[in-house]
Structure 1
């Protein structure tokens, strides 16, 4: 009998991409044994890029079914909530739709696994009542998982918000020491609803049937060992952990975005550059800067003398201000006067978006200045590209600490103050260090070796291949 696997990615295109890659692997290995349905809520985090991506998937992967929920009703109270609190409210409403779906006899029959993104823990009780095994898909790495498993313990050690403890340093099993103010964004303000939502999910995370993590054995040895030893949880058993990475999207033209002429030509431009000579600066879908910071980046790049490919988005105008996603970026207004003319022989600035996977795998690419989003980290690892770590939001400060201090896979960008501002001199220094310094050469060699580890994980009898086979065997027997 065919086993049904239901995937609920909640919100965010980057998380959907990784979970869909898992679905593709399942169906590739067992096309007749399993079916996959992806539940898609509409909400405040839906974008044209996500809609385009889903449409293309429906055409190219007909074996993956997509079920759309209706748009949750608007709540005027969200106007005064933080982005994190709004996210948790959205997830709560969306989870109710998932429960309704699971309770339909024609839908629920034969489900052998419900896979939800982390922060969908509220589905556990409903799934248990229906006898459906529930698994968490952890879109970040083992280091972030170690953090979240141990977070309730750290929560109990203080009554203050971590953002108000600038000199405090906390130790998490398997992680380098972490300043309180460098904890994941949702953990900083104890008075915010988002904090308590994260705490709730962290507390209930061990109750799942298992956790699927987008990483691979050998990449984060300290964190995986701490999780295996059970030191992240006190007086509670650790659920089974399945390391099934790297799961990254394919390099496709456009990837859901409207592609302009200059974005089309960035790969052609790279074709004209010497091998391993270009540094790529790209900061994710939410990675935006103040106008002053954009000018400092330009100053640093120009003074570094390095070849560069830089993705520039519209600036943010202040803390908490929403940025509209748009390819209509006025580069002349944002960049220093005549910057484009002065650097045109060794640099290319692209508006809003570039095909990141294709760029990272281009032979002219020699380094990557990244916000440390986990998808971007894995894409760089698979491409064998060394990094400069410049975290901006979410758990990226934690990722930076691990990449720089433990893995020695990146050079850290140092901020000038607590607002995260980085001077042009610092940009120049780190870019030079990455592209022509001794540390950069060491990172390049280490990146090459790590790339081989990442590719080996999905080969026959590789660690990720073995973990997937083990889990599919559990689901197959559970669905009969």
Structure 2
């Protein structure tokens, strides 16, 4: 992407991620891209989160990039969370999610202490804060520092535009349709049908504090100078234009960051340490035919019931294609012995046709392998964009939040996916042990896999579209591409603002 030049001004980006893998990973990539272009970058983290990305921190420091990783205290125990509960995927039960969000708010005290000590040590003050939009407190913090705040969204611009359109037409929608009745989102160039339960995920939770958090995040965005998104202009151009018009904000798409040039070691370490040796995974993939393997993975947060895992595995077995299945519920520290036992027997039954990974997987590395021809995904935006970036079609299994709209983008707008058929969101982020919930039966799994992976004309057309999007993604990230230029534009915008601020201060001193 952009390369450092002698003309790059001495500006300082302070990056404050939400402590959740789907948000922190692309913000880490953004931090490295910005540092590669010359500015000083401070990426705020905590001891537990830093340990997860230690190989990336070490390689980044070794490369000489001007980027720092302060490990600040996370106030987990202050709000009743277990010590070390510093990431949303470590929250042990659903009723502790609100306390975790409160801890994120209290985390600002650790950051303020760091900034004060950093200034006393003679470090340059921040020129800009790039913050996850959920961290509403970074807007008044940026104001107190006299610097712009750019809001990071870990979603597609399709989701952002649809959300604003739904808010704009809320009154007419509320009076016209029931909770589970399908309706077309007003204002779109094509008919995209959803239900209220699929697009109003905040209302699925009884605690009104959830809605307060969402409202605070929206207010924080209104107070931001602009928005950054891990996407690219060519993927969803109409939706970028619409979102800019509706929000009145400048929007800079800078991705897909999963295409950021890096070696296999670094790509395999994105997120946290893999639960399987990458060489073993590569050896297994190298033994498979091109485009024959299905990757099955559902992100770091949502868990499935034991019965749902059985149905999913039985569908994969019946479909007949080689697969890699990431089963985090079977990890050694998961505490689900019945899952571990069933998965062990399942591995014996499928033999070499399947590779089961029990825990975190090197997803970006796997998706980029030539043997992978399909991806069964929860439609989290990071995972969706990683597949788009390397031209891999998807079978879509959304759970909550933005995922149902991401499914619509993949299946109906881009036409690079097939839906499994989930209609209702999962109420809780994490499945409580003992739940019997089954949303997708084995026949649904088998049907979706066959449709995604068979050699028919439909698959060829879908694969051709996916490969074309992959080429557009690579072009966007290349020198002179749209995302590369947007990165330069972000730096130029902050540089000009910094110059104006310094000039104004000089004028005040002369008075």
Q: Structure 1-normalised TM-score?
A: 0.85
Q: Which residue of structure 2 aligns with residue 92 of structure 1? A: 105
Partner SS state of residue 296, structure 2: strand
Q: 1:38 to 1:329 in 2, by over 3 A?
A: farther
* More helix per residue: 2
Pairwise CA distance, 1:225: 2.8
Q: Counterpart in 1 of 2:505?
A: none
2:152 to 132, 137, 150: 137
- CA RMSD in angstroms comes to 3.3
Q: Which runs of 5+ in 2 are unaligned?
A: 1-8, 82-90, 426-436, 500-511
**Structure 1 residue 75 displacement after superposition:** 1.9
Change (3 A) 1:92 1:376: same
| 2-structure distance, mates of 1:417, 1:375 | 22
Structure 1 residues 285, 184: closer, same or farther in 2, change over 3 A?
A: farther
Distance 1:58 1:459, change over 3 A: closer
- Residue among 313, 318, 322 paired with 1:307: 322
Q: Distance in 2 between matches of 1:170 and 1:84?
A: 32
In structure 2, the residue matched to 1:202 is: 218
Which residue matches 2:394? 387
Query: For residues 274 and 4 of structure 1, what CA distance do their matches in structure 2 show?
Result: 47
* Cα deviation code 1:63-115 (max 9, x no counterpart): 21112222314224999974552343122112343344445644785422111
- What residue is the counterpart of 1:474 in the other structure? 493
Partner of 1:241 in structure 2?
A: 251
Aligned position for 2:464: 445
Kindly provide the CA deviation profile for residues 345-401 of structure 1, in whole angstroms up to 9, marking residues without a partner as x: 422222223221121111111111111111111111111111001112332122112
**Alignment CA distance shift 1:473-1:62 (3 Å):** closer
Give the distance between the partners of 1:270 and 1:179, measured in 2 at CA: 39
Deviation of 1:283 after TM superposition, in Å, equals: 1.2
Q: Distance in 2 between matches of 1:83 and 1:152?
A: 29
Cα 1:281–1:99 change in 2 (3 A) is: same
Corresponding residue for 2:280?
A: 265
How many angstroms apart in 1 are the aligned matches of 2:59 and 2:204?
38
In the alignment, which residue of structure 1 is the partner of 2:29?
21
Give 2:44's aligned residue.
Answer: 39
Pick from 401, 418, 438 the counterpart of residue 411 of structure 1.
Answer: 418
Which of 404, 426, 435 is 2:444 aligned to?
426
Residues in 2 aligned to 1:275 and 1:3: alpha-carbon distance in whole angstroms: 46
For 2:180 and 2:96, the matched residues in 1 are separated by 23
| 1:445 Cα deviation from its structure 2 partner | 0.6
Stretch of structure 1 that moved more, 78-87 or 448-457: 78-87
Give the 3-state SS of the residue equivalent to 1:36 in structure 2.
Answer: strand
Counterpart-to-counterpart distance in 1, 2:438 and 2:307? 12
Helix, strand or coil at the partner of 2:374: strand
Stretch deviating more after TM superposition (325-334 or 392-401): 325-334
Q: Tell whether 2:484 aligns with 1:465.
A: yes
Q: Distance in 2 between matches of 1:359 and 1:17?
A: 17
Taking the aligned partners of 2:400 and 2:305, their CA distance within structure 1 comes to 14
Would the aligned equivalents of 2:308 and 2:438 in 1 still touch at CA under 8 Å? no
Question: CA separation in 1, counterparts of 2:54 and 2:337?
Answer: 22
**Which residue number in structure 2 is paired with residue 319 of structure 1?**
none
1:3 to 8, 11, 31: 11
The SS at the match of 1:217 is coil
Match of residue 350, structure 1, among 340, 347, 357: 357
Deviation digits for residues 247-272 of structure 1, max 9, x if unmatched?
Answer: 12754345465555666412211111
Deviation at 1:334, TM superposition (A): 2.1
Distance in 2, matches of 1:324 and 1:11, equals 23
| CA distance in 1: counterparts of 2:298 and 2:50, whole angstroms | 18
Contact 2:165-2:185 at 8 Å conserved across structures: no
Number of the residue aligned with 1:67: 70
- Pick which of 112-121 and 146-155 moved more: 146-155
What is aligned with 2:242?
226
Unmatched tracts of structure 1, length 5 or more: 316-322
Contact 1:5 1:111 in 2 (8 A): yes
- Do the aligned residues in 2 keep the contact of 1:13 with 1:50 (CA within 8 Å)? no
Instruction: Name the SS for the 2:69 alignment partner.
Output: strand
- Structure 1, 428-437 or 137-146: larger mean CA deviation: 137-146
1:118-156 Cα distance to aligned partner (Å, 9 max, x none): 112222123223211111111221122224545654666
Output the CA distance in 2 between the equivalents of 1:75 and 1:396: 29
> C-alpha deviations, 1:292-327, integer Å up to 9, x for none?
111111211121121212112226xxxxxxx99659
Distance change (3 Å), C-alpha of 1:50 and 1:127: same
1:193 to 209, 212, 215: 209
C-alpha change, 1:135 and 1:196, in structure 2 (3 Å) is same
Report deviation, 1:191: 4.2
For 1:255 and 1:239, locate their aligned partners in 2 and report how far apart those are by CA, in whole Å.
30
The correspondence for 1:166, drawn from 180, 190, 210, is 180
Q: Structure 2 length as normaliser, TM-score?
A: 0.80
In structure 2, the CA distance between the partners of 1:307 and 1:196, relative to structure 1 (3 Å rule), is: same
- TM-superposed deviation, 1:454: 0.3
Do the aligned partners of 2:292 and 2:371 also contact (CA within 8 Å) in 1? yes
Q: What's the secondary structure of 1:268's corresponding residue?
A: helix
Find 1:396's aligned residue among 390, 403, 413.
Answer: 403
Contact 1:414/1:422, CA 8 A, preserved across alignment: yes
For the residue of structure 2 that corresponds to 1:111, the secondary structure is coil
Q: How many residues align?
A: 459
